[in-house]
């Protein structure tokens, strides 16, 4: 019997309920997937807690997965049973089987395993658009990555380093600092105990950074703005510590004609051509060895609650995945 993690009411990790489900039927334009691995992402905690609103209650959590096509709905010509595929986007991934719109799936190259794919479709495509499109990182630039040992963080550090930037990473512990340095960070700062704004100024001899990638949100604002050189860009892409308060536009002027953006992956891959190009660039970058996807936590699907407790408790590094039993 297929199974899934459902949320009947929003709240803490305890609201995650493991349940048997009926095999879903693919509607026209959809495929049915047998999932081999599902990604765990910080955004899942926002939907679970109610910070982001799910379409309706109850719902199956999760936005990233990889598996094989087992059936196709009417009108699907791009995929057939047996194809290996992966995706990031529509919620409902914490399940052994699910349906998915065929035009939002990506064919998975043989070189990428299901576990790797589940660890990187959402985080890796996010890192891709952040370093290649939101702010085009190039050689000689200085990049600050908050939560550098996290899922998106470790990929960002490696990718920015591969593009020739100097990478500074903030982290919550010595162990995370060592991991970030092993994955492309030239310098690390323990932002919970050090004056990280001052450390950034010291490391850069007062020149500061071209871009700050900030997935932490509330706790790193407005410090992140003080780490930017004039005309630098603050990329606020997440809220791990809570949402950022409204930002007065004049602050950007006072701190050096700064740019600020609050991007989401959905916008960057809304067109199918962009989805495929983003995924291709990610797959090539991983296959070339420039970026490694550290899947550092694996849980059984039924242990999703533990996965959330550890993610929110700052106890994880790199990517976490859930493995449905076959
Ligand atoms: P992470 O693996 O990075 O986990 C979050 C990390 O944030 C923690 O490990 C912790 O690292 C740090 N953190 C700082 N403050 C807190 C706090 N108060 N509570 C918990 N953790 C805290 O998660 P993901 O890689 O899944 O996501 C990283 C960020 O990227 C999230 O904000 C997420 O929403 C965002 N995101 C945005 C996307 C977009 O397109 N906009 C797409 C994908 C992710 P430490 O101990 O080192 O401080």
pLDDT 10s digits, 42-73: 999 999 999 999 889 999 999 999 999 999 99
pLDDT at 165: 98
Distance 73 CA to ligand 1 centre (A): 36
pLDDT tens-place string over residues 134-146: 999 999 999 999 9
List the Cα angle 104/107/109 in 5-degree steps: 150
Backbone angles phi, psi at 104, to 5 degrees: -115, 5
Low-confidence ranges of the chain (pLDDT < 70): 326
pLDDT at 10: 97
Local structure of residue 132 (DSSP, 8 states): I
Distance 70 CA to ligand 1 centre (A): 33
Taking the mean position of all CA atoms in its chain, how far away is CA 247? 24
Out of 45, 119, 147, 242, mutate this one to test ligand 1's pocket (max ligand atoms within 8 Å of CB): namely: 147
Distance 213 CA to ligand 1 centre (A): 11
Pocket of ligand 1 (CB under 6 A): 41-43, 122-123, 126, 147, 149-153, 171-172, 176, 215-216, 219, 237-241, 263-265, 311-312, 314, 316
Out of 42, 269, 313, mutate this one to test ligand 1's pocket (max ligand atoms within 8 Å of CB): namely: 42
Out of 215, 244, 262, mutate this one to test ligand 1's pocket (max ligand atoms within 8 Å of CB): namely: 215
Nearest to 168 by CA among 194, 204, 140: 204
Backbone angles phi, psi at 299, to 5 degrees: -130, 155
ipTM above 0.90, yes or no: yes
Question: What is d(CA 316, CA 274) in angstroms, rounded to the nearest whole number?
Answer: 30
Q: Whose CA is nearest to atom 12 of ligand 1?
A: 147
pTM of the model: 0.98
pLDDT at 55: 81
pLDDT at 176: 98
Correct CATH for 3-120+293-323 of 3.90.226.10, 3.90.180.10, 3.30.70.3460, 3.40.50.1970: 3.90.180.10
Distance 96 CA to ligand 1 centre (A): 25
Beta-carbon contacts of 131 under 8 Å, excluding residues fewer than 6 positions away, are: 137, 156, 159, 160, 163
Instruction: Give residue limits of the domains in the chain.
Output: 3-120+293-323, 124-266
User: What fold, for 124-266?
Assistant: Rossmann fold (3.40.50)
């Amino acid at each position: 019997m297929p199974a899934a993690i459902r949320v009947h009411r929003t709240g803490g990790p305890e609201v995650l309920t493991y349940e048997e489900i009926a095999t879903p039927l693919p509607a026209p334009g959809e495929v049915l997937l047998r999932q081999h691995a599902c990604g765990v992402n910080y955004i899942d905690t926002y939907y679970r807690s109610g910070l982001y609103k799910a379409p309706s209650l109850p719902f199956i959590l999760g936005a990233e997965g990889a598996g094989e096509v087992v059936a196709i709905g009417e009108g699907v010509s791009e995929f057939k049973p047996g194809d290996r595929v992966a995706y990031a986007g529509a919620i409902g991934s914490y399940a052994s089987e699910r349906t998915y719109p065929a035009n939002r799936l990506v064919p998975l190259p043989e070189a990428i395993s299901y576990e790797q794919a589940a660890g990187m479709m959402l985080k890796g495509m996010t890192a891709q658009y952040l370093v290649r499109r939101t702010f085009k990182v190039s050689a000689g630039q200085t990049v600050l990555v908050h939560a550098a040992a996290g899922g998106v963080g470790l990929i960002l550090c490696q990718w920015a380093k591969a593009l020739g930037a100097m990478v500074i990473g903030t982290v919550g512990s010595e162990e995370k600092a060592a991991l970030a340095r092993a994955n492309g960070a030239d310098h690390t700062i323990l932002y919970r105990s050090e004056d990280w704004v001052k450390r950034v100024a010291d490391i850069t001899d007062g020149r500061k950074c071209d871009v700050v990638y900030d997935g932490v949100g509330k706790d790193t604002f407005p410090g992140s703005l003080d780490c930017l050189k004039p005309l630098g860009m603050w990329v606020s892409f997440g809220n791990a510590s809570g949402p950022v308060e409204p930002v007065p536009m004049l602050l950007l002027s006072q701190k050096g004609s700064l740019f600020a953006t609050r991007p989401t992956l959905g916008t960057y891959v809304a067109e199918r051509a962009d989805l495929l190009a983003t995924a291709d660039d990610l797959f090539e970058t991983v296959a070339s060895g420039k970026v490694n996807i550290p899947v550092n936590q694996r849980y059984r699907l039924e242990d999703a609650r533990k996965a959330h407790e550890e993610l929110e408790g700052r106890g994880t590094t790199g990517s976490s995945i859930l493995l449905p039993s076959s």
